[in-house]
Amino acid sequence: MLNYKYNDFKSRGKKSKYIPKKGKKKNILENKIFIGELDLNKQGVGFVIVNELENDVLVRPDKQKFAMKGDIVEVKITRVKKNNKFEGEITTIIERQQVELIGVIEIKKDFGFFIPDKEKLPFDVFIPSHALNGAQNRQKVRVKITQFKDTKRNPEGKVVAILENYSENDLEMEQILLEQGFPLEFNSKIIQQAEDLSFDIDTELKNGRKDLRSIPTFTIDPKDAKDFDDALSIQYLDNGNLEIGVHIADVSHFVRPGSGIDEEAFNRACSVYLPDRVLPMLPEKISNFLCSLRPNEEKLTFSILFEMNTQGKVLKYWMGEAIILSDAKFAYEEVQKIIDEENKEEFKDIYTLYEISQKLRNARFKKGAINFSSKEIRLKLDSLSTPIGIEIMENKTSHQLIEEFMLLANKTVAKFVENIKINDEALNFPYRVHDYPDEAKLENFASFVKRFGYNFHIAKTDQISKNFNKLLEDLQGKPEQDLLEKLGIRTMAKAKYSTKNIGHYGLGFDDYCHFTSPIRRYPDIMVHRILKYALANNLRQDKKMEYKCDHCSERERKAMDAERSAVKYKQVEYMSQFIGEELEAIISGVAAFGFWAETIEQKCEGFIPIQEILPLDEYEMIESLYALRGRHNGKMYQIGDKVTIQVLNTNLEKRQIDFGLIS
């Protein structure tokens, strides 16, 4: 896992345009040492990403010194080529991203060698006899690397689990998590710390918590959820206004700064959601029991009570520590049925919250938020985690009900903090920020949508979000809707955590943070702590906050990579039943070496290599058109084109589907 000392050296965002001066005989950068993150391509060639350099440093396999993908390393520049292209060699492995590996143990007389399954490493991991922990020759095991600093000797490790009875699916899911540097379990000390936690209601009331147990309160979550970290309440005031409460599990009460649980939660930074499992950020005692806002159980919360008129305008609010008693839990499907059937009398509270949420939503879009529809592809799995179908999860009004009140709470907290100063300095705070779209991508997108008869004007930057919403409105129900929405999303910058409050472009907010999911996101815990300090007039400046933001952003990206890899694995498994069949598909991506197509019915993506179409012509990549174009015949293979493909092969190990082009 990353630590304070070295994370600051990792590449973040755009690289600096550092162009070295050249001497007469030797470039001044030769033999200089930099710190960066190692990436590896499929051929095993390495590239160290160094923040200070304009280009990555190429490191050939024989110069990698037992380093693996994602490791933080010291790299020495050995050669500077034309156009400031660098070659180098790794001199020190500072920190491993992946410290646990799955593979096979080979035992000799009094020691063992471990051979990883997935990582095609040019070296083995040495296992001393005392670290075999009962493993037998050729058994499937999980090994933890314990020594790796010495770049002249093979890394040393120990067997931490014997995996003989694991299914292929379990092995693959664990492998995916390990690849991104996520530990698979909590150690015994962390588990015991969690088990020792408890709270006493009377003591908490004496300490000044607001007692909200008499207010009707409920949760709305997926039907299989176990960690309920947000709840809503509503009261009808005598003046005709509404008091709507957003109640968030007070995880920071139990996860104290500097504790073992806190350090582990920070290292993970988020929960990871795979198709058949969840890897939690916090031990089960905390996430599913102590903090989860389960019905008929008194719980500690950090709450915001909004007084609003019937049009959804916030007139005033109270924010602080509270105690609630949830009366009921609803699944999204139940709430959707209430909304669809306009069941206003029996479920007045839910229907009123729905009406207010839609007013909040409409007001948000009028102020510049972009209305990308949210469609999630989910694989249906049987009891053995085998994929048996595909379902599309849409963002329905029941989801929007929760979403709008969570957005309101997040925005309110960020706005409150924005006005706080310490010695005339802005408070270091983990804002959730989203930058303006890339101009080149916007230009390509604007020219592409013209092909479908739409005008997307980008001359006035303050009108971009409105133009997006107009386009998205025009696309509703059209065949090209899904394609153009996906391309529109690709023009967007990536949201991240930062102390530099540049606002959230996609949501149209000047101030925004994450406050509402502390069970599964570490930044929310940090936000809760800062609010408590602020409300107690005990603020302090955290000088490491920007580093913490970087770390949480990076772990979030790793979690998303793990989730995508797991979904891809299950899609490959699902598509194995279609080998040899011809299917209708849409080109979903292009590259100089071929293009990707997504099947219309199964929503699974496969690759068609350039060799499939090369006999017809020579093809060049036209980025502005998202297309491959023939140099002689002008034939184009463009994103959005319908094609007929044949499923040629599925490779679970590579998580890859190969298509052939029929027409």
Per domain, the residue ranges of the chain are: 4-95, 100-166, 198-413, 579-661
Residue partners of 225: CB distance under 8 A and separation at least 6: none
Given a contact cutoff of 8 angstroms between Cβ atoms, the answer to whether 323 and 211 are in contact is yes
List the one residue out of 43, 124, 35, 52 whose CA is nearest residue 88. 35
- pLDDT, mean over the chain: 90
List the one residue out of 310, 276, 265, 284 whose CA is nearest residue 523. 265
pLDDT in tens, 341-382: 998 888 999 999 999 999 999 999 999 899 887 678 889 999
Lowest mean pLDDT among 33-37, 97-101, 573-577: 97-101
pLDDT of residue 217: 97
pLDDT at 25 over 70: no
pLDDT of residue 26: 64
pLDDT of residue 2: 38
User: Across residues 451-462, what is the average pLDDT?
Assistant: 83
List the one residue out of 430, 418, 404 whose CA is nearest residue 545. 430
Task: Tell which phi-psi region holds residue 381, choosing left (phi > 0), alpha (psi between -120 and 50) or beta.
Answer: beta
pLDDT at 184 over 60: yes
pLDDT at 4 over 50: no
Residue written as token pair 């679970």:
652
Question: Is the model more confident about 335 or about 118?
Answer: 335
Alpha-carbon separation of residue 235 from 212, 239, 355, 485 (angstroms): 11, 12, 15, 39
Question: Is the model more confident about 16 or about 551?
Answer: 551
Question: Is the model more confident about 388 or about 16?
Answer: 388
pLDDT at 611 over 90: no
Given a contact cutoff of 8 angstroms between Cβ atoms, the answer to whether 622 and 652 are in contact is no
Which of the four pLDDT bands, split at 50, 70 and 90, describes residue 438? confident
DSSP 489-511: HHTSPPPEEESS---BTTTTBSS
Identify the bridge partners of residue 636 per DSSP, sorted by sequence position.
Answer: 629
Kindly indicate whether the domain formed by 579-661 is annotated with CATH number 3.30.420.480. Answer: no
Which of the four pLDDT bands, split at 50, 70 and 90, describes residue 5? very low
- SS3 (DSSP) at 171: helix
User: Across residues 295-316, what is the average pLDDT?
Assistant: 97
4-95 matches 579-661 in fold: yes
| CA–CA distance, 260 with 644 (Å, rounded to integer) | 55
pLDDT of residue 12: 39
Report which residue type is found at 307: E
User: Across residues 498-516, what is the average pLDDT?
Assistant: 96
pLDDT of residue 172: 94
Instruction: Quote the strand ranges of 506-581, DSSP E.
Output: none
pLDDT at 612 over 60: yes
User: Across residues 538-542, what is the average pLDDT?
Assistant: 90
List the one residue out of 22, 30, 89 whose CA is nearest residue 59. 89
Kindly indicate whether the domain formed by 100-166 is annotated with CATH number 1.20.140.10. Answer: no
User: Across residues 315-335, what is the average pLDDT?
Assistant: 97
pLDDT of residue 343: 84
How many CA within 13 A on the CB side of residue 554? 23
The topology (CATH level 3) of 4-95 is OB fold (Dihydrolipoamide Acetyltransferase, E2P) (2.40.50)
